[in-house]
């Protein structure tokens, strides 16, 4: 897969939660346009905290994050969040209106689109993800896999350049997991995904960053990481079992 210019740049960011240990300790990395990056590490490593910085949901105590050359800040949050779409680990953080159609239409309405145009875009996004049949349902009436896709739809409706996903296969059964992975494999956006599911990471991403205690301890091709079993064990990770899908992702032309 060819990649382009640096689209996301993380420059020495540090962040700590009140009363707790430092969550990020000078993290630096770049994500190029078209790239697919897995962010891996044990619980408490700083993965979610890093992801929340990529579109300004958190702002660093030190260092900076740039999206297509724009420094992420309170002043630029609207623009950077349009470019970088964040899908939370828990779909309930993004699905809160009476119907799925209303949830997906919320972002274009908030951006000032007229109601009919916002609804048309929302329906087109649901159709693109194969869940238009659920447009008039409440989120709690959807399956786990459908809820994951519904949360993704609330982000894709804004047509971001970068998709950032926190544990997109968490708590899914095999069918739901495959459905989400297969859909993401076919997406054209730049992808940053934090996950404990190394089989899903291998199916989606070419490069891996491993965080441990808020520090980057690996930044290299994912296939090399999967072969480094002692390293994986030291950092609380486990290679996919032999019957789990792995290997380089396939992208649609």
Predicted local distance difference test score (pLDDT) of residue 21: 79
Q: Identify the three-state secondary structure at position 103.
A: helix
Q: How far is CA 251 from CA 61, 180, 205, 220, 234, in A?
A: 37, 15, 10, 20, 32
Report if pTM > 0.85.
yes
123 and 115 Cβ atoms separated by less than 8 Å: no
pLDDT at 248 over 60: no
The mean pLDDT value for 74-88 works out to: 94
CA distance 223 to 169: 20
Q: What distance in Å separates the CA atoms of residue 136 and residue 79, rounded to the nearest whole number? A: 30
CATH topology of domain 6-234: Rossmann fold (3.40.50)
pLDDT at 243 over 60: no
More confident residue, 252 or 196: 196
pLDDT digits (tens, 9 = 90+) for 135-162: 999 988 998 889 999 999 999 999 999 9
């Amino acid at each position: 897969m060819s990649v382009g210019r640096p689209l996301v740049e993380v420059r020495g960011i540090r962040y700590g939660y009140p009363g707790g240990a430092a969550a990020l300790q000078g993290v630096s990395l770049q994500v190029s346009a078209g790239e697919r990056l897995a962010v891996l590490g044990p619980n408490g490593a700083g993965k979610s905290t890093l992801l929340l910085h990529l579109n300004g949901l958190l702002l660093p105590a030190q260092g900076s994050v740039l999206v297509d050359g724009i420094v992420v800040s309170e002043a630029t949050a609207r623009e950077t969040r349009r470019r970088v779409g964040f899908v939370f680990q828990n779909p309930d953080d993004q699905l809160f209106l009476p119907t799925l159609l209303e949830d997906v239409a919320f972002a274009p309405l908030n951006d000032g689109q007229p109601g009919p145009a916002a609804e048309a875009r929302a329906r087109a996004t649901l159709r693109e993800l194969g869940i238009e049949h659920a447009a008039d349902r409440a989120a709690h009436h959807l399956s786990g896999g459908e809820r994951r896709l519904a949360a993704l739809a609330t982000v894709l409706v804004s047509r971001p350049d970068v998709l950032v996903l926190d544990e997109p296969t968490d708590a899914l059964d095999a069918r739901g997991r495959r459905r989400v992975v297969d859909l993401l494999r076919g997406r054209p956006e730049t992808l940053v995904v934090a996950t404990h599911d190394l089989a899903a990471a291998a199916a989606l991403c070419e490069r891996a960053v491993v965080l441990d205690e808020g520090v980057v301890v690996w930044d290299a091709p994912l296939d090399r990481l999967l072969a480094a079993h002692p390293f994986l064990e030291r950092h609380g990770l486990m290679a996919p079992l032999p019957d789990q899908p792995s290997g380089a992702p396939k992208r649609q032309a």
